[in-house]
Amino acid sequence: MNQRILFSALILFTLVLQSCSSNVNKIFWVGGYKTECSAGAGKIQCLNVNRSESLDNPNWENFYTNIKYFQFEEGYLQKIKVKETKLEENKIPADASTLEYELIKVLDKQKDIRTELNGEWTLIKLNDAPINRMVAIPTMTINLSNNLVSANGGCNNFRGRIQYLTCSKISLGAVAGTKRACINKNIEPEFIEALNSIATYQIKGETLIFYNENGNKILDFIRGQGNKPNSSLHDIWITTRINKNPINRMSPVPRLEINLFEMKIMGNDGCNDFTGEIEEVSMKQLKIGNIASTNKMCRKMETAQSFNKALNQVTYYKLDGLNLILFNNENKEVLAFLKGD
C-alpha cells in the first residue's frame, strides 16, 4: 500500500514538474516597425524582437507568432515581460509555433529612432561638400518594411538590403543596380561609393547624415515628401522671356537665385540687386514675399521694370529639364529662365 502511495506521489510530482517547466517568463524588446517575413505559403508582417534586455548591441530578429494582450505601437520600442508556454503536441495547429506568448507587463517604452529613416530623401552634400547644382541630384528611398534601400544616382537605379540597423549604426549589403550609359552630367560613381561605405547615421530634423567607419561625414540628405518642392528649383536661373517676350540680349540680363535651404530669392534685375523671402513653396506653388532692392538708376530700365513687375505676380512654377517657367494666379506665363552656370 505504501509503495502504491509513493508511486502515485512520484507520478504526480513529475507531472507538476513538467507543467511548471513548460511556462517560462522572459524579457525582451519589441521594435517600432514590422518587417515582411515568410509564413507558410505567404508573406506576413512580423514583429521584430531583441531577446536581450539591453539595446547596446541588439540582435533583431523576426518574431513569427502573436503575443496575447500585447499592443504594437508604430515608432516605439517596448521592453516587455512575457510568459512563454510550450504547447502540447496535440494542441498545436498545423504550421503554427510550438510556443505561445502572453504579455505580463510593459517594462519600458521609448521612441524608435530607426523609424524616422523611412521615406524619400534628396542628396544635398557629398563628402561634406555641397552638390554641384548643374548635375542630376541623387535621391534615396528607405523602406524598413522590406529592409531595403533604393536609390537613383542621377541616371541608374540602385538597391541594397539593410543587414544591420540600430539607433545609430547601419550596415548595407552590396549596392547594385542598372547599367545604363548616362549622357547627362552626374556624380553617380562617387555617390554609390559613399553609399557602400556608410556605417553610422544621425537624424537632425529633416536632415539625414551618414558617416563612414572613420566617422567622416559622407552623405547629407534632406527629407523629400509628396508635396515638397522640386530640389532642382534650388539653383541660379538666367531670364530668357518676360511675359513670353524674348529678352533683349543687348541689355543686361536679369538673374534669379532660388535658395530652398534659406527660403530666400536673390539676384539682379538687369540694373539693381534684389532679395526677398519665399513665403510658400511646394511641387507646384511658389509665393514670394516683399522684395527689397538697391535704387540705382540705369540708362535702360524697361527690362528691369518688366522683370520686377512679373516677379511680384508669381504663384506657380514648372520645371522642364533646364528650363524654369513661372506663372501668375491666372496660370499665364510671366517669366521663363534657363539654368545658369
Give the burial string for 141-150 (b: 16+ CB within 10 Å, else e).
Answer: ebebeebbbb
Q: Where are the alpha helices (DSSP H) in 185-322?
A: 188-195, 302-311
CA dihedral (119, 123, 126, 128) positive or negative: negative
pLDDT in tens, 266-319: 999 999 999 999 988 877 789 898 899 999 989 888 999 999 999 999 988 988
127 has pLDDT over 80: yes
Highest mean pLDDT among 86-95, 103-112, 146-155: 103-112
Q: By C-alpha distance, which of 198, 191, 190 is closest to 171?
A: 198
169 has pLDDT over 90: yes
pLDDT tier, 17 (very low <50, low <70, confident <90, very high otherwise): very low
Kindly calculate the radius of gyration of the chain based on its CA atoms and give it in whole angstroms: 30
83 has pLDDT over 90: yes
Return the higher-pLDDT residue of 152 and 166.
166
Strands (DSSP E) found in 233-328:
235-242, 245-246, 255-259, 264-268, 273-281, 286-293, 316-320, 323-327
pTM over cut 0.75: no
Average pLDDT, the chain: 87
Phi, psi of 42 (to 5 degrees): -135, -170
Which of 48-57, 208-217, 222-231, 281-290 is predicted with the least confidence, judged by mean pLDDT? 222-231
Q: Which helix (H) or strand (E) holds 106?
A: strand 99-111
Please give the average per-residue pLDDT across 120-142, as a whole number: 85
- Determine the Cα–Cα distance for residues 23 and 99; give it in Å rounded to an integer: 10
Residue 266: per-residue pLDDT: 95
Residue 111: per-residue pLDDT: 95
Query: Three-class SS of residue 184?
Result: coil
Residue 5: per-residue pLDDT: 56
Please give the average per-residue pLDDT across 40-44, as a whole number: 74
Return the higher-pLDDT residue of 33 and 330.
33
- Determine the Cα–Cα distance for residues 33 and 162; give it in Å rounded to an integer: 14
Please give the average per-residue pLDDT across 23-31, as a whole number: 94
pLDDT in tens, 92-123: 665 567 888 999 999 999 999 999 999 989 89
pLDDT tier, 172 (very low <50, low <70, confident <90, very high otherwise): very high
pLDDT tier, 191 (very low <50, low <70, confident <90, very high otherwise): very high
Q: By C-alpha distance, which of 238, 265, 246, 252 is closest to 304?
A: 252
Distance of CA 28 to the CA centre of its chain: 28
Residue 93: per-residue pLDDT: 61
In CATH, what class is 231-339? mainly beta
Residue 20: per-residue pLDDT: 46
Q: By C-alpha distance, which of 223, 331, 243 is closest to 285?
A: 331
Residue 320: per-residue pLDDT: 83
Query: Three-class SS of residue 200?
Result: strand
- Determine the Cα–Cα distance for residues 213 and 221; give it in Å rounded to an integer: 18
pLDDT tier, 82 (very low <50, low <70, confident <90, very high otherwise): very high
pLDDT in tens, 225-250: 545 677 789 999 999 999 999 988 77
Q: Domain spanning 115-224 has what CATH number?
A: 2.40.128.270
Please give the average per-residue pLDDT across 5-10, as a whole number: 54
Q: By C-alpha distance, which of 278, 154, 258, 151 is closest to 208?
A: 151
Return the higher-pLDDT residue of 168 and 177.
168
3 has pLDDT over 80: no
- Determine the Cα–Cα distance for residues 152 and 338; give it in Å rounded to an integer: 24
Residue 300: per-residue pLDDT: 84
Cβ–Cβ under 8 Å, residues 140 and 118: no
The domain locations on the chain are 22-32+45-111, 115-224, 231-339
- Determine the Cα–Cα distance for residues 236 and 338; give it in Å rounded to an integer: 9
DSSP category for residue 285 = B
pLDDT tier, 2 (very low <50, low <70, confident <90, very high otherwise): low
